[in-house]
Structure 1
Amino acid sequence: MTEGDIPEQNPDEVLASRFPTAYTVLFLLIAVIAALTWIIPAGQYERSMNEEIDREVAVPGTYQQVEANPQGFVDVMLAPTAGFYDPDSYVANAIDVALFVLFLGGFLGVVNATGAIDTGIKSVMQRLKGREIWMIPILMVLFAIGGTTYGMAEETLAFYIILIPIIIAAGYDAVTGVAIILIGSGIGVLGSTINPFATVIASNAAGIPFTDGLLLRMVLLIGGLIICIAYVMRYAMRVKADPSRSVVARQLGAHRQVFLGGQKDQAAVALTITHKIVLIIFALTFVAMIWGVATQDWWMANMGALFLGAAIVIGVVGRLGEKQLTGSFVDGARDLLGVALVVGLARGIVVIMEQGMIADTILHSAENSLGGLSELAFINLMFWIEVGMSFFVPSSSGLAVLSMPILAPLAD
């Protein structure tokens, strides 16, 4: 079956089009959590400063019920804004992450305006002709390294728009490109060996050295990565051999049109000196980001400044005029505006839980349910408790600070 033989519509597409967007789902979750503040008793643990992580953490055994503070209609409406910053104290919540996403989008917009990415993609495809499958293990290993060393997550956004066209031009589908990035970085985070925003913070909050269990995490990382690479390679080879086996088979033509302009074969191209310099600056920007996060305690503001500065340098090197430079930056930021809004909405869920004072109550219930269990039952139940809580606390460091001081002593 060829791409042209595949019909344009099917019942799955119709069903997908009826599914609510991420914005709607997150806003509904805010409303549901607000409703729960009228049902779940309010309560709090006492807090003390943990010098190791420079944050206040809950003190085990100090939970007590407090006067309820149920969240109403106005609170639900304020939650998305409060997800970005506290409207009362003006303390930042997720606004730094949202701004980082916008600066990242602007940076990509400027890079794309130079034409270096498109030309680079075509050049890579010419060089890898017949050996494209080996891109998968190489790239997945690189993303896994990012995940295991510093929890690479938001930072991967830049790579989707770059990698997916390369993968489609190689004869695979968009899902393969997404899988390389998402599964590669995901398995790295799952086996976080030295990730300071998950393993190190969680270990310090629990009062144990982060090197405890390091060998086990390395085994989990390597074993999981091998399985993931094999799975993605198998899927990619099946799709290349028969496009109808793609999970997005009916969108292959549309994806090719969007990412490659409908071209099936890429014309021969040559990278100019300007293109090469732009691509080198592009690569060095991400190297600098990884170095800064891993060794210099950089966070969103620093990374945003890095991408802003790099965008200006690339614009100058690429000989973009002032209007084209700023226009490309704004257009790129606009492309990731939806992601920035999702960040604020997700943080709004946590705000409602904290203002309604039910987060500690939920944690206390988890503490009670884990008491007196066998080792096997404890491990499995604690895993699912953390999974459930991660839906409402979309931050690995935030979840570690919230839960580890209470749940870790139970493991002893």
Structure 2
Amino acid sequence: MKRSGFMKFKMPSAYSILIAIIIVVAILTYVVPAGEYDLNEEEAPIPGTYESVDSTPQGPAAVMMAPIQGFYDAKDVALFILVIGGFLGVVMKTGAIDAGIAKVVETFKGRENWMIIILMALFAVGGSTYGMAEETIAFYPLIIPVFIAAGYDAVTAVSVILLGAGLGVLGSTVNPFATGIASGFAEVALGRGIGIRLLILVAGEIIGILYTIRYAKKVKEDPSKSLVANMREENKEHFLGKQDTDSFPELNGKRILILVLFALTFVVMIYGVLPLEDFGVEAIPTLWWWFPELTALFLVASIIIGVIHAIGDDEFGEEEFVGSFVNGARDLLGVALIVGVSRGITVVMNAGNITATVLHAGETTLSQAGRIPFIVLTYLFYIPLSFLIPSTSGLATVSMPIMAPLGDFANVSRGLVITAYQSASGIVNLVTPTSAVVMGGLAIARVPYGTWIKYVWKLLVLVFIMTIAALVIGLYF
């Protein structure tokens, strides 16, 4: 008997979850008392000023308009996301990133320990700066055969790629899709808290590299210790005929220049958003850039890189540049839409005047707690929430308008609240089965999901403890 489609459970998409939350929040505006806070010059709520106001329930019309109004409210963030997508689309079209990684693999073939360190570091930089995730899928067919031929296994290769980039995202410094969006909705400079994020990035990658090298060494010394030892011969036959470095572009002078400009763009971005005045630095001017300036930066960088790639390449003209930019933007259209839809939740809460009431409940609770319990509980709160809303941008948009002001009441900086959010989201996205990056990489490597969990769970514990320690340290800096 064929099972009815209605009998099968499938996790709904992020859009459906967010629309459902909008409806629930609208219903709550009929139940939760309305209230307001007095605001300071920075538009932050002033503790102790909460007052009840007349209820303003939000009906079906408000629910339907919420995603639209949310998109209007978040238009600067959405446009930034689309331009970042176009920038990445142009860079990927040049083949510079693929050529760079392939050159590292070729250069360090036979010295795989060093290759583990260098590749994980490179993937970490990509994850920390621009949220490198889906882009890693292309490297599995290149890297897996190299490690298997060297006497390692497919789990080692997955660890290098998935943990390298994933721990980089967990320790995002200026990742526009995690740190950037969260900073926007928390209404703080992107550079706030970058020191602790850098600490988490470096500590996380050191843990990941040592963990991977320890396992790789064990497998090479005794192949029976491999978690996929039963597939050893099968994997050799499957992968060793598939290493094809010729399919990756050559790392020529032009592509090296593009990689330099690619890196320089993020260096300029970091300088533009760092609040140097707050650190007492006066010799170098603080630019106070925000989404409009950052959007312009990546648009100009896209054009410069496109022009350089077009030199000596008759097939890459104005039409191809525009096509690459538009295709890259199209790849991130879903992210931009999620930001708009999720912002609709805040629109309904604010229109129903229940945001202040939720904050007041948090303020009352936090008056009994200290700074350490608050930041630890914030991190723990975001872990299950990251399973529910796997989109980092959607999660930031939904939660930051509430969680960031709660940090004010607990005397915890908004930058540290952002760090707790992105760290929790990052650790979940190393293992969540709803991630196409995790499941796609494991499928290419022929590593069962249960085997990956068996391999990575100890590392998750270490990273969990390290992150909590870093967050507590961040309270005092």
Output the TM-score relative to the length of structure 1.
0.68
2:38 aligns with 46
Q: State whether structure 2 residue 307 is matched by structure 1 residue 301.
A: no
Q: CA deviation at 1:367?
A: 2.2
1:75-94 Cα distance to aligned partner (Å, 9 max, x none) = 12212122222xxxxxxx32
Letter in 1 for 2:324: S
- Is the contact between residue 79 and residue 345 of structure 1 (CA under 8 Å) also seen in structure 2? yes
Q: State whether structure 2 residue 84 is matched by structure 1 residue 104.
A: yes
Which 5+ residue runs of structure 1 have no aligned equivalent? 1-14, 50-54, 86-92, 145-151, 190-194, 205-209
Summarize the alignment of residues 83-94 of structure 1 with structure 2, pairs less than 5 Å apart: 83-85=70-72, 93-94=73-74
- Is the contact between residue 167 and residue 176 of structure 1 (CA under 8 Å) also seen in structure 2? no
Residue 26 to residue 239, structure 1, CA distance change in 2 (3 Å): farther
Summarize the alignment of residues 138-157 of structure 1 with structure 2, pairs less than 5 Å apart: 138-139=121-122, 142=125, 155-157=129-131
Q: CA deviation at 1:166?
A: 3.5
Q: State whether structure 2 residue 142 is matched by structure 1 residue 169.
A: yes
2:117 aligns with 134
1:355 aligns with 351
Which 5+ residue runs of structure 2 have no aligned equivalent? 1-6, 145-155, 174-178, 275-285, 311-315, 386-393, 413-474
SS at match of 2:44: strand
Aligned residue pair count: 347
Letter in 2 for 1:31: I
Residue 272 to residue 382, structure 1, CA distance change in 2 (3 Å): closer
Q: CA deviation at 1:143?
A: 6.9
2:243 aligns with 264
1:331 aligns with 327
1:142-194 Cα distance to aligned partner (Å, 9 max, x none) = 579xxxxxxx6xx523x3354443455222566753443343342466xxxxx
Q: CA deviation at 1:126?
A: 0.7
- Is the contact between residue 141 and residue 242 of structure 2 (CA under 8 Å) also seen in structure 1? no
Residue 290 to residue 233, structure 1, CA distance change in 2 (3 Å): farther
1:342-372 Cα distance to aligned partner (Å, 9 max, x none) = 1212222222221111111112112222344
Letter in 1 for 2:50: Y
Task: Tell me which of 8, 28, 31 is aligned to 1:36.
Answer: 28
Residue 280 to residue 379, structure 1, CA distance change in 2 (3 Å): closer
1:273-310 Cα distance to aligned partner (Å, 9 max, x none) = 32222222222222222222225222222222111111
Residue 17 to residue 324, structure 1, CA distance change in 2 (3 Å): farther
Residue 141 to residue 122, structure 1, CA distance change in 2 (3 Å): closer
Letter in 2 for 1:408: N
- Is the contact between residue 110 and residue 325 of structure 1 (CA under 8 Å) also seen in structure 2? yes
**Which structure is higher in RCO with an 8 Å CA cutoff and minimum separation 6?**
1
Q: Distance in 2 between matches of 1:217 and 1:362?
A: 28
Q: State whether structure 2 residue 325 is matched by structure 1 residue 322.
A: no
1:274 aligns with 254
Q: Distance in 1 between matches of 2:172 and 2:87?
A: 25
Residue 17 to residue 337, structure 1, CA distance change in 2 (3 Å): farther
Aligned-pair Cα RMSD in Å: 4.5
Q: CA deviation at 1:225?
A: 5.6
- Is the contact between residue 167 and residue 201 of structure 2 (CA under 8 Å) also seen in structure 1? no
Task: Tell me which of 384, 388, 392 is aligned to 2:377.
Answer: 384
- Is the contact between residue 29 and residue 58 of structure 2 (CA under 8 Å) also seen in structure 1? yes
Letter in 1 for 2:298: F
Letter in 1 for 2:304: V
Q: Distance in 2 between matches of 1:296 and 1:34?
A: 40
Task: Tell me which of 1, 11, 14 is aligned to 1:19.
Answer: 11
SS at match of 1:296: coil
Q: CA deviation at 1:66?
A: 1.0
